[in-house]
Amino acid sequence: MMVFKNIEQHQNKKADIYLIISLILPPLAWFAHLNIGFMWSAYACSMKQFWLLHGFCLLAFGLSVLGVILSWRACCYYRKYNKKSQWGKLFVSILALLLAMIYSISIVAYEFPQIMLEFCR
């Protein structure tokens, strides 16, 4: 029984770390995407090198999706071990999952018109 308790404590710490990372990573990726897009758009328009902006968009989208995956894993853990002390963490993990998905969608929604339309006039 003691080994199971140690494994459960280890899983709980891992889920807490996943939850913290999933709360920080998607907003940070979205913020970096907007700042890089704003700072380098004049350079990309003048040099006609849009691959750099699209590459950073894909990187930011990947980081945001990583936040979705980590919050999903934390949510699955907290649902599996649904003790009364875990309900607050379950709520926060579901909230982190929704926010990470919103940030991922906003990165794609911001970049999609730039891919389809030429925004340098």
The whole-model pTM stands at: 0.78
Average pLDDT over residues 52-76: 88
Q: Does residue 120 come out as left (phi exceeding 0), alpha (psi in the -120 to 50 range) or beta?
A: beta
Q: How far is residue 57 CA from its own chain's centroid?
A: 13
Q: How far is residue 98 CA from its own chain's centroid?
A: 10
pLDDT digits (tens, 9 = 90+) for 65-109: 999 999 988 888 887 776 666 778 888 888 888 998 998 898 888
Q: Where are the domains of the chain?
A: 15-116
Give residue 1's pLDDT.
46
Q: Which residues contact 104 (CB under 8 A, 6 or more apart)?
A: 26, 61, 64, 65, 67, 68
Kindly tell me if the per-residue pLDDT of 31 is higher than 60: yes
Angle at 86 between CA 85 and CA 91, to 5 degrees: 125
